[in-house]
Structure 1
Amino acid sequence: MDLKILDFIRQNHLLSLSTIDDDGVYVANCYYAFDTENLTFLIKSDKTSKHIQLAQKSPKIGITIAKDHQNLSLLKGLQIKALFKDASLMQKEIYYSHFPYAKLIKGDIFALEIQWAKYTDNKLLLNQKLFYQKISPS
């Protein structure tokens, strides 16, 4: 993954997670830690929350992270396709190292493994985008 994308991920802490059911799209905002080795976002949420239940039912999810700015040339954002999974023990440790107080809050840690990403940084060039595609093991 391009370092510009990784830097953008590290500079932010809030993502929008999109899931879907028969009624349509459902979106939730979640604070995240990032597992750099596995290119995976880590979030904490209650198993009974609607976005978690929908993601467990249909694990292909959408994610966005955006930096808003009135000056169009300063806009930055990331669009992601990810796979929803239970977090590993190591990933839980990563999450709690970033948010130690979260141990006091009810919920579980979940992993959002990046499959594809498109990064926009209008400072680079208005028409230039950076892409990431996970390579499937053969």
Structure 2
Amino acid sequence: MMLPDKIQEFLVQNHVVSLAIKDDEGLWAASCFYALDTEQARLIVLTSQTTRHGQQMLIQPKLAGTVAQQPQHLREIRGLQFTAHAELLDGIPRQDALGIYTRRHPLAMLKRTDVWAIRLDGVKYTDNHYVFAQKMCWERPSAE
């Protein structure tokens, strides 16, 4: 399954995702570096399961997030919002995902931490560069 080219291109050009979770204390957001797993339409992130967002992703893996740039002008706005499911990886899936991540962020090889797959379920991409308020939506097929 492939993401549309424009969404995939945007995710490859960027590297920070903001994750939003809800726990017993309320809403919480965290920013993480990511690497795109193009084959499985997921973001690979490294974060400890002892963090507030890591603890909650273990309990309730459904989350929302954004990837956005910091433009100076409205016409330059590009970004996406998504819903997803987080999965703490172990064994061979962990090693495969860590390989994707360290190819993008080589310094990550120096620190041992937990590896997560943020499986994108639905994405709304906005790109004002060519047409103001242009939106593109993508949803993971329900059979997956």
TM-score bracket, normalised by the shorter chain, equals over 0.9
- Please state if 1:119 is matched with 2:125: yes
Give matches, 1:48-127, under 5 Å. 48-87=50-89, 88=93, 89-127=95-133
Contact 2:127 2:133 in 1 (8 A): no
Runs of 4+ in 1 over 6 A off after TM superposition: none
Give matches, 1:17-56, under 5 Å. 17-56=19-58
For residue 13 of structure 2, what is the amino acid of its counterpart? Q
TM-score (norm 1): 0.93
What residue in structure 2 maps to residue 5 of structure 1? 7
TM-score (norm 2): 0.90
Cα deviation code 1:41-77 (max 9, x no counterpart) = 0011112111100111110111101112231111111
For residue 35 of structure 1, what is the amino acid of its counterpart? D
Q: Name the SS for the 1:38 alignment partner.
A: coil
How far apart are residue 86 of structure 1 and its match?
A: 2.1
Contact 1:82 1:116 in 2 (8 A): yes
Q: Which runs of 5+ in 1 are unaligned?
A: none
Contact 1:46 1:106 in 2 (8 A): no
Q: How far apart, in 1, do the equivalents of 2:109 and 2:71 lie?
A: 34
CA RMSD of aligned residues (A): 1.4
How far apart are residue 136 of structure 1 and its match?
A: 1.4
